[in-house]
Copies of this chain bind each other. A is one copy, B any other.
Amino acid sequence: MPRKASRKTPAKSPDIRTVAALAKVSIATVSRTINGSPVVSERLAKRVWQAIHELGYLPNTHARTLVSGRSRLFGIIVENITNPFFPELIQSFEEVAVAHGYEILVSSSNSNPAILTTCVRRMLERKVDGVAVMTFGEEEPVLDQLMHRKIPIVLAEFKLQDPHCSTILLDYRSGIHAAVRHLAGLGHRHIAFLAGPHTLHSALTRENDFRAAMKTAGLPIQKNWIVECDHTLKGGVNGFDQLQALATRPTAIVCSNDMTAIGVLRAAFMKGLQVPKDLSVIGLDDIDFAEFTLPPLTTIRLSRADLARAAFEALRQQAEDPSNPHLQREFLVSTSLVMRGSTAPPVAD
């Protein structure tokens, strides 16, 4: 029975010394017990744990970090936290990180290099053990800061020749090819692509994969049917408007991400077009919202959980076992088409 020592306000939270005193051992033994060192005898370990619980003792991570040199903190920088893809990614990343005893530091760069720079700086100050850079953009100059200090990095889609940098390759091919095949099967020949900003690696890759898929399907690519727009709701609206202004219009639009696709849905509605009767739309990401648009969005699924797991694993390996010769430097996450209600055969001309 834990006897409650009725002390007056202890004012300070208990530290390792308090625990040691209560358990009648040295602080070294307490430390070893907490960290699961095998050399502590069971008899003492039991006493120590009891004291820890009795006091509600929590180790001070700052002191710990200071001496061990490891913070058990991973940074994650996302492109834009306002795009639901990223909160979902963060959530998964946090889950797996916490399960392994890590904490995460989240920052959103808003595709702004200046902000990205301050994010990196702050993470450096907090001595993160690694950073997941999920911005999909041209961040090399900033990354130098990290590489120079030999902080493990994991990037998406972009390989960096650095011993502390891993990459997660996103295989859009499967998903995008399936999407184009699906549209072609429905009878579409006039397919447009709403590309993301060319400053993003992901946008470029997606666009290239779209071109390849069209070629494979034997479909012509019309130059001004590939339009560049922001990966946002508004971007989708603008992209759609550009397409509508054309003399000949596509019967289907594949979008570089779900946000633009939802923007297209909205813009088409405003123009009196009915999706999918008058226009087929396909997104990419499969954010939670995609299932709830009007009509439900057919989209190419990119698993946040898979991406998050890969990113964490890449960081963990580098942080905990940097000298391992067969450390995995490349990870692969694939995509697939999920069919909902935003695609249908084109209206007969």
Query: B-contacting residues of A (Cβ < 8 Å)?
Result: 2, 11, 13, 58-63, 65-66, 71, 81-82, 84, 86-88, 90-91, 94, 98, 103-108, 118, 121-122, 124-127, 149-150, 163, 233, 237, 262-263, 265-266, 269, 288-289, 291-296
Contact = CB atoms under 8 A, between A and B. Distances in A.
A266 B288 contact: no
Nearest to A124: B58
Closest CB pairs A-B (n = 7) = A62-B62, A294-B294, A62-B65, A81-B87, A233-B292, A266-B292, A87-B87
Nearest to A84: B84
B11 A233 contact: no
A346 B84 CA distance: 34
B127 A62 contact: yes
B294 A269 contact: yes
A309 to B, nearest CB: 17
Contact of A292 (B60, B86, B90, B262): B262
B292 A61 contact: no
A118 to B, nearest CB: 7
Given A62-B66, A103-B122, A269-B295, 10 more contacts: A60-B125, A61-B62, A66-B66, A81-B90, A94-B107, A98-B122, A106-B106, A233-B288, A233-B292, A293-B294
Contact of A163 (B2, B94, B127): B2
B127 A61 contact: yes
A328 to B, nearest CB: 19
Given A124-B58, A233-B289, A103 B105 contact: yes
Contacts of A2: 163
B87 A125 contact: no
The interface centre, meaning the residue of A87, A106, A289 with most chain B CB atoms within 10 A of its CB, is A87
Nearest to A71: B62
Contacts of A87: 81-82, 84, 86-87
A63 B233 CA distance: 44
Nearest to A2: B163
Nearest to A295: B269
A108 B82 contact: no
A119 to B, nearest CB: 9
B98 A118 contact: yes
A135 to B, nearest CB: 15
B86 A82 contact: no
16 contacts: A2-B163, A13-B149, A60-B125, A61-B126, A62-B63, A66-B66, A82-B87, A82-B91, A84-B87, A91-B108, A94-B107, A98-B118, A233-B288, A262-B292, A265-B294, A266-B293
A127 B82 contact: no
B288 A82 contact: yes
